[in-house]
Structure 1
Amino acid sequence: MGLLQGLAGNLTEMPKEELEKKYGLYLIEGEEIEIGYKLVRDVIIFTNIRILDFDSQGATGKKTRAESIHLNTIFHVTAETAGFGIDDSEITVSYITSPYFRANSITTNSKKFEFPKKYDISPLYRKLEMISIENMDRINGIG
């Protein structure tokens, strides 16, 4: 079922020990893996500092692109739970990509993560939403 979920675009949770063994060299000082997911060859890891998105490329998958979304740049999160049929659950994270958060003109991007229908996305959504609220307060000088 894991391969079928992967082909359908769904992430499956990976053991923390496996993530640390395979992706620990990408962590910065003080960073700890909290949870991670695999999609066929691609991997998404949530740490205490950022979201790491590993995209395996090429026929063999040996070439890998790593992208980071720093948690302190997240300003908006949406969640869509699975419905009936083949629907899956989704979390979309919007984040600032420009280096200056308070500039007159900032640039942003969004990333959507799809989860298996049976996976409860609510704890992850709540955590990311709390981060976005704290970031908006910090960026806007509130609190």
Structure 2
Amino acid sequence: MVDFQQGFIKLSPIPPQQVMSLVGPMLVADEQIIAAFKSIRDSVVFTNKRILAINVQGITGKKIDYTSLPYSKVQAFSIETAGVLDRDCELELYYSAVGKVKFEIRGSFDIVGFNRILSQYVL
């Protein structure tokens, strides 16, 4: 499982099609990707039902850990918008079994609009 206490390092938004080959076979009926992000090797996919954290392991990258975090288990969440000097926005979700799950998103990403979408699934 991914060590969520460290947080994902600087995720960048990517088109959902880029991760479809990795997560497509795992999606259940009526599950759709709403956003996808990538770091150097790892990815995070937000669907309408859960968050999938994809952790590429090893030198060759053939070993991959998939961690599924259902929205139904989120107890609280927060967002932090980008500032003048700190250009990254942040999303933190709190799970009873896992603790805090933190995502740092670089670039111009509409975290407030994304918060509204996420609220539909968490609340």
TM range (shorter): 0.7 to 0.9
| Cα shift at 1:86 | 4.4
Which has more strand, going by share of residues?
Answer: 2
Structure with the bigger percentage of helix:
1
1:74–1:131 contact (8 Å) kept in structure 2? no
Structure 1: stretches of 5+ with no match in the other structure: 1-7, 98-107, 135-143
Give the RMSD, CA atoms, in angstroms. Answer: 2.0
Query: How many angstroms apart in 1 are the aligned matches of 2:121 and 2:17?
Result: 25
C-alpha contact 2:53 2:67 (8 A) present in aligned 1: yes
Instruction: Work out the percentage of aligned pairs sharing the same amino acid.
Output: 31
Single out whichever of 37-46 and 77-86 deviates more from structure 2. 77-86
Larger radius of gyration: 1
What CA distance in whole angstroms lies between the structure 2 residues aligned with 1:33 and 1:87? Answer: 25
CA 1:127 to 1:75, structure 2 compared with 1: closer, same or farther past 3 Å?
farther
Q: Partners of 1:87 and 1:34 in 2: how far apart? A: 23
Higher relative contact order (CA 8 A, sep 6+): 2
Q: For 2:103, which of 108, 113, 134 is the aligned residue?
A: 113
Q: Which whole-Å CA distance do the structure 1 matches of 2:31 and 2:20 have between them?
A: 11
What is the number of equivalent residue pairs in this alignment?
116
Report the counterpart of residue 25 of structure 1 in structure 2. 25
- Using structure 2 for the length normalisation, give the TM-score: 0.81
Which stretch of the first structure deviates more once superposed, 40-49 or 86-95? Answer: 86-95
